[in-house]
Structures are given as C-alpha cells and as structure tokens.
A and B are shown apart, each in its own frame.
Chain A
Amino acid sequence: MLTIILIGFVLAIGAIAIHRLLKNYSGMAFAVYPAAAFVWFLTQYQTVASGEVVMSSMEWLPSLGIALDFKLDGLSLLFALLITGIGAIVLTYAGTYMKGVDHTDRFFVALILFMASMLGLVLSDNIISLFVFWELTSFSSYFLIGFKHEDKASRKSALEALLITAGGGLALLAGLVLLGIGGGSMSISELLTRGNELADSGLFNAAMLLIIIGCFTKSAQFPFHFWLPSAMAAPTPVSAYLHSATMVKAGIYLLARMSPVFNGADGWHATLLLFGATTMIVGAIIAILQTDLKKILAYTTVSALGLLTMLLGIGTSVAIHAVVIFILAHALYKGCLFLVAGIVDHQTGSRDIRKLGRIFKDMPYTAITAIIACLSMAGIPPLFGFISKEFSYESTIGMITNSPLTTSAFFLTGVFFTAAAGMLSYMVFFGKRNKLKVKVHEAPVTMVAGPILMALLSLVFGLSSGWINPLLDQASLAILPGNESLKMGLWHGINTELLLSLATLLVGLSAFSFIYLNPRLMSRIEISEKIKPSYAYEQVMEGIADLSKGVTRYVQNGYLRVYVSMMVGTFCVLALIILQDFGIPKISILWSDFRVYDIVIGIIMIIACFYTVMAKSRLLAIAMLGIVGYGVAFVFIIFGAPDLAMTQILIETLTVVLFVLVLWKLPRYLIFAEGFIKFRYFLVSALFGGIMTWIVMIVTQYPLDSHLKVFFSENSYPLAMGKNVVNVILVDFRSMDTLGEIVVLGIAAIGVYGLVKFNGDKKGGKA
C-alpha cells in the first residue's frame, strides 16, 4: 500500500515531464495509475470481505512514535476503491476537458498529488500520518481550486477553502495529539480499543470536540459549509472528484473511523445530529434556489454531507448501514452529475439552467447518463439511490428519540433532492427553450465514458446489491464493531419507508414543477448569494486584518524613543516584582572614610551629567560628557585601576574628538519641548536609575567569592611572567576576549570607512 501511495507522489513529481511528452493523451496515461491501483484493491476484495485486514508498516519517526502504518479494512477499501476508480475516470475525463488550457501539467501534478494523499488518508493506521495526508489533501486542493489563479474570485475561493480546512486541521491536530496522549498510542487500531483509557485520562471530551471540528471543516458542515460552493471555481473534474466523491468525505471518513471510540458519548450524538441536520436542510434549501449547475450540485453535496453526519450521529446499526450505502450511492451519482455538468459546460459554454434547455437530441448519451444519475439522486427504484434512501428512513424510524423530527428533516431533504434532480435533468436537457448561441455537439468518448460507467453502476448496484454487500458490511463493521450484518435489497415489502419514499417523490416533483413554472423565483436567487454564510468568514478575516493593523500600529509605531521606553519599562516592571522582596538597603556612610575630593568628584560628575542632559548647546553637552568621562577615570584612579583610567581618558577624548569632527555638519541643536511626555520619560529614567542603584546596593552587601582574584594574584608572575595583573589577564588568561575586542575595533574602522566613503561615492566606484 505504501508503494501505491509513493508511486502516486513520484508520479506527481514526474507529471510535468510526462505531460510534456504525451501532450493531450497524458490524461489517459495518468489514469493508468489509479486504474492499476483500483485493480490491486479489487484483488484484496475477497480478503477484506471475509473480515480480515491487510496491514503494511514502515517506520518514519520512531522517536515520536510516528509510523507509516497502513491498514486495509472494509471502510478503507470502500474509500480506496472510490478514490482510485473515480480517480481513473476523472483523469481520463480531465485529459480531454483541459485540452488547450494553459499549465495543464500543473493541474495534473496537483490532482495526482491529491489522489495519492487521499489514498494515504484513508489507509493510514497512524493518527499523525493520517493527519499528514489530511493536510496534503487540503494543500493540493488549494492548488486545484486556485488553478485559474488569475481570477480574483478563484484565488479567493482557494484561500477560503484552505483557511477553513487548515484551520480545522489545526483543531484536528490538537484533537489527535490529545487522543494519542490519552490513549497512549499513535496507532489507530490500538486507539480504537482504548476508549476507556482515554475516558480515564480526562481528555475524552476535548479530543472528541477538536476532532469533530476538524472533520466538520473538511466535510463542509454548517457553519463551515460555505467554502464548498465557492470551491466550484475549480475546474469541473476537480469538483467531481474532490468536492463530491472524495475529499469532502474525508471528514465523514474520519468521523466514521473514530466512531468506535466516541460512539456512545452523549456529546458525540448530539453534536453530529444537530450540525448534520442543520447542514442537511440548509444545503438542500439553498440548492434549489441556485441556477448554476455546479452550485446546485455543490449545495446538494453539502446537504448530503450533512445527511451522512447526521446518520453517524444516530449511530445505530441501521444508521451505520445507511452511511456506508449512501457514501457509495452519492459518490456514484454525484460524481457522474458533476462530470455531466462539466460536459454541458464544455460543450455549450454555459452552466446556467435558465439558459440551458432542449439539448437532449444534441447530446443524447450525456443526457441519458444524467437522467439515470438524477433518478438515483431522487431515490427512485431500481437505482442504488433508492436503497440508500430506504435505509436512511429506516434509521430515523428506528431511532429511540426525536424520530418524528429527524424523519421530517429527511423527508424535507428528500423533497428538495428530488426537485433538484428535476432541475438538473429536465431543465437542462428538455425545458422550455435553448438560449445558447452555439451549436451543441456530443462530447468525445473520453469524457462521456466515465459518467456513463458511473450511471450504469448506480443501476447495477441497485438491481443486484449483493455484489457489494460483503464490502459494505465490512465497512459498517469498521464503524460499529459487532454491527449486525447488512441485507440490501430493492423490495422490503410495503412499509413506512416505502410510503415515505413515495411521498417524497410526489412532493418533490410538485416542488420542482412549482420552481419550473415560476422562473422568477430563481432570479430571486441573488438574494441567497448576498446572505451567503461566508459573511461571517469575511467578518472574521476583516477582524483579523483590523486587529493586526491595530496591534502593529501600536507596538511598531516607528518612534525609537517608544521602543527604548518599552525595553526599559519592561525591565523596570520585572525588576520591581523581584525587588519588592528585598528591603531598602541601609546607607552606611562611614564618616571616618570621608574624603573631600571624593565628594567633589561625585558632585562634579552628577552636575556634569545633569548639564549633559539639559544643555541647550550641543558643544556644551559634549564638553560635559567629557567631564563625566574624566570623572569616571578619576574613580578608576581612586580605586586602583590605572590601566582603566588611562584607557578611559584616551577613549573619552577620542570620542569627544570624533563628535567634534562630525558635529559641525549638523544643524542647530533642537529642543523638542513636549511637556507631559518629557515628564513621563523623566519618570521612566528616574525609576530605572533608582532600580539600578538599589540593585548595586543589594548585591554589594552580599559576600564576594574571590577564588579567581586569588588565583590571578598568585599565578600572574610565576606562571604568566607579568607583573601588571590586568595586562596579564588581557593578553594571557583571557586573551580570547582581547582577540574579540580587537576584531571589533577593526570592524568598526572598516565600518566607518565604508559609511563615510560610500556616501561620497553613491554610484559605487573604486574604494
């Protein structure tokens, strides 16, 4: 299994070269990959159907417990077959559909990448590698949705989809990690058996909620559903593949996968039911208000995803059966319909059902295919969609609580589905009149073959569902271990479900007639565009933008003094927190030590410092600075540091000289009187100075450990041959410091040279 996925990734990288080589036939060539994979998965059918699982495993990051473990059970196999099967169809289809479009190679790269990732997702048996593939599908779908990236709308939709799914992905990641920590393993198979440990760890609810959020974003559940219709900006094959058959079902897949752990928890059922139902109804209502073929399909897909979620939320035996059946049924008819929509669009140049009509004769194969798929969607026997619908009704009726409400929700949805099916088939291919300006032809066989196949499968599975019964049975067992075995069939006798189906059909058809006869209703649809649910998303995005601008203007406001005061302020706050534990140290001036010149020097330094700060003349400030420097030198002299004093005096004077050399070019000293602000800065500075004084007093009261001092004093002459211990330290004991110091000086010289000379030589002549 790893090999299959890896081949996909390699193929994705090589796709550009292959496309260059094969040009228009590349689509079919690429389709060989999923087709071959499909065949391989079919070979595993017997094994899986008999209840065994196929495992494969490879280490990846063992130190984090992350492995590329894959497990093929019923659920995985169902999805894997869908992914590879529909994948092959879509690739073939896309080869023709994308003919003549720029950068098709990039399209195939992303599509194949997606395919491989999706396979990885459904096969993974490790939560982290599952997550990796999960994000890879978001990533590749970003590029597929944004394929027409020169359109602003396309970019926007791609971003929307990415941000929503990736945002949910982050929640999912947290959820999965919590799951891993709580369950003590990264392996899904093991985790599924450790629900109790998870519950004991106290992480159960958090992990569940976060995982649900992740799945909801991916599977376009209300209130995250809006990205899916926007994603219709992608080329139609992409919509068919990602946004109906596979990617959006990844969320459903994961919910189903995790069901053994969470099923039974109240929160699980309530959340899934509530959000699933909402999504289902909202999607269905909006669907029939659309005029764009793809939009109708998109919203019905949203609704279908809601339905699946809801069924998972019901979580009973029948409901789980309904889930697996509906996954297959929906994939077949919805994939087919998307491809048909693409054909129609491709051949007629329009997707607006108000403009389309009466093209049945022009493209009969397409039309018949579409009609079959629509019948399945409407749940009309003997198509597979009918079986699916029957199971859905059965699961609601079997529910212990709230069944009337859920049943009516299903009923309503069924009605809208039927209506939508009518719109998609009748209005497009028959209808009133054709407003198109082009002559319509049937599409090439590479495009039509796929949809026909899918439509036929809807029919075949409906007529003889026994073929796939074992697979779906195993899939439902994976979702609900110990589930009773599944029995599919068209005829279960006259029962409530059948009656409901009939009622649905009738009401649905009348709803369709109503819409059809009142075209103005459809033109109201613009309203629904305006109250699009993405409004909230846009608000959030705008909020982020505003917040970020506000924060940035505040912290990064361009004023150096503010930056400095932030730094000093931070220090003061932190220091004060610690300092409050120390008392104010005692000031003990020993009058016996009193020396007049000490005091005089101190006073002169303080006054000089004051005048440096206050001076109105720049030169005075610098002269005063020099005096402070000399004062420092004198302090060094008093306390036995002649080397320091020398250096200080030399450096001090040189600094003054440099200042003087530079300053005559500058304008007059400006005094920026700012009153209150100045006072504020004064307070900050005074506080800072006070804290430093305080700290020095505290630390100097602490007894000093002088082992280094002693070592240097004893060894300087005998071992290092020098009597000036300071110099010996500089050139011997700590010569690394001095080496660094002289490098600093050298760099400073280069810097000054460059800075000064570069200025005179802007065009960059010789140095």
Chain B
Amino acid sequence: MIIRRSALVILMCLEIMLSAANLALVAFSRFRLEAGLPDYDGQMLVFFVITVAAAEVAVGLAIVVALFRSRRTIDVTTLTSMSH
C-alpha cells in the first residue's frame, strides 16, 4: 500500500488487510469453542466485514472511475490536491 501508486491496487491491498483480519477472526472463532461449537459471534463479524467491504469496494471503484474520468490518472502520487 505504501509502495504501490495505483489507487486500484491500493484498494486491493485494503482487501488483503481486511482478509487478514477475517482469517484471524475465523481462527479465533474455531479455537474458542462456545457450548461445544465454534463461537459463531466471530464469524458474524467476518460476515459483516465481507458485506461492508463489498459495499466499500463498490463505492471505492466508483470513486476511482470518477477520478479517472476527471484526471485521466489514478496514480496517487499525483493526486495530492487535498493538500491545499
């Protein structure tokens, strides 16, 4: 995320980070038995994370597309208009 300059790839990296958290959650849910079964509370969170991430990607991609339309680039090193 720090090295790559394409906004799209940065979004992908974001997904990787979320997935890592998901994996941790699922693992904990399996290892922490509740009433003899995996603790499904953790999986619920994963479920919601996936859902929200899907929405987030949709919005993010729409923003990227809009950005690309107006600037013809998605290189984040050149997209620094927020600094002024």
Binding between chains A and B: no
Interface residues of A (CB under 8 A from B): none
